[in-house]
Amino acid sequence: MSRLPAAAMPMSYLHTVGPAADPVTRLGWGLGLISVAVVVIITTLLLGAVLRKRDAAGQGNEVARDGGGLRWIYIGVGISSVVLAACAIWTLLTLTAVAHPATKPAFTVRVTGLQWWWRMRYENGDAGQVFTTANELHIPVGQPVRLELESGDVIHSFWVPQLGGKTDTIPGQTNVSWFQADRPGVYRGQCAEYCGEQHAHMALQVVAEPPAAFQAWWQAQLAAAVPAPAAGPAAVGAALVQARCSACHTVRGTEAGGIVGPDLTHLASRRTIAGGTLPNDGPHLADWIAHSQRIKPGTKMPEFAFSAGDLAAVVAYLTTLR
Ligand code: HEC
Ligand SMILES: [Cu+2]
């Protein structure tokens, strides 16, 4: 069972790509450099003072006698105060800059943290334009997206380091945030608040696409699931999914309407499954259905002891759900 190579999805807050994150990165570097400069200057002055005092030894302490020491203390406190005040002002300006997007967000996604995956509900004012997916957010490049963050169980924290800071998801509360990706790409995110056994397997991906590609994705997600074929393995699989999986999973356009697990209507369009734990392909789907408790011990997805034929049929059906 191969895990996803970490290098496939960079996750670095030093390489940010949007206006909700860039000012914070600049501030971080700025405060870091100022701190280094302060250490270097203080060390130099201190060494200078020690060496000078040694030279002056034996000739009486001039500095103490003419009161010059006190003057230097005033100058030192003055310089420190100005530098600290400048840092505080820069920090406040940065917080203001990332608090709200410059333009109206394109749409809102309601992200729910759950043990141990992310439900993502795209809202668009119009009830007919709402759909739900899991662990993979698609956004148009260069446009701010509003996020409503909530939890279905314990406290989680939503964090996509290249796009913005962390925001907790707290039961009974909705936290509002936003982000924007200025370059197309796939940005990895991760739950950043310990939330139980499989906290480490609660990742997500943000796929930033040119607006046309995003629109195509959006339209495809709005559609109901591809109907199951009338015969063959996928038809057998569709019946098994109705019988065994529909209590927890939704496949829009069928009778499966469960909401305990991820919406499977367009499962095959996603890159990964189970909170970024496995690549989304036939062998890994089969592995997940048969051994979910071995792959993610404690997950609410039970294991199924299907015959080899039935397992292959279920997977055949799931891979049609483009
Ligand atoms: C008791 C509820 C329950 C049942 C029954 C159930 N699942 Fe799940 N399923 C879940 C939960 C919860 C998750 C999310 C687990 C995680 O990522 O930790 C999940 C995740 C999945 C995923 C990964 C989806 C994604 O986008 O990450 C697939 C595929 C899946 N289930 C298929 C099935 C199939 C096929 C069946 C029936 C044979 C089934 N499930 C039955 C609860 C259930
Ligand atoms: Cu979590």
Domain ranges of the chain: 22-99, 108-222, 233-318
- Please report where in the chains the tokens 């860039």 appear, as a residue: 22
Instruction: Identify the pLDDT of residue 56.
Output: 66
Give yes or no for residue 66 having a pLDDT over 90. Answer: no
CATH number of 233-318: 2.60.40.420
Question: What value does the CA radius of gyration of the chain take, rounded to a whole number of Å?
Answer: 28
**Is 273 in contact with 288 (CB distance < 8 Å)?**
yes
Between helix 308-318 and helix 282-295 the angle, nearest 10°, is: 110
Q: What is the pLDDT of residues 131-141, one digit of tens each?
A: 999 999 999 99
Region 282-306 average pLDDT: 97
Q: Would you say residue 61 has pLDDT above 60?
A: no
**Which tens digit of pLDDT belongs to each residue from 198-209?**
999 999 999 999
pLDDT at 299 over 90: yes
CATH of domain 108-222: 2.60.40.420
Q: Ligand 1 site: residues with CB under 6 angstroms?
A: 116-117, 134-135, 241, 244-245, 247-249, 260-262, 267, 270, 273-275, 285, 288-289, 296, 299-302, 304, 314, 318
pLDDT per position as a tens digit, 71-121: 888 988 999 999 999 999 999 999 999 999 999 998 999 999 999 999 999
What is the rounded average pLDDT for all residues in the chain?
92
**Cα separation, 128 vs 138, whole angstroms:** 19
Residue 54 pLDDT grade (very low, low, confident, very high; cuts 50, 70, 90): confident
pLDDT of residue 274 exceeding 60, the answer is: yes
Q: Would you state the pLDDT for residue 13?
A: 84
Pocket test for ligand 1, best of 272, 296, 301, 314 (most atoms within 8 A of CB): 301
Does position 175 have pLDDT exceeding 60, yes or no? yes
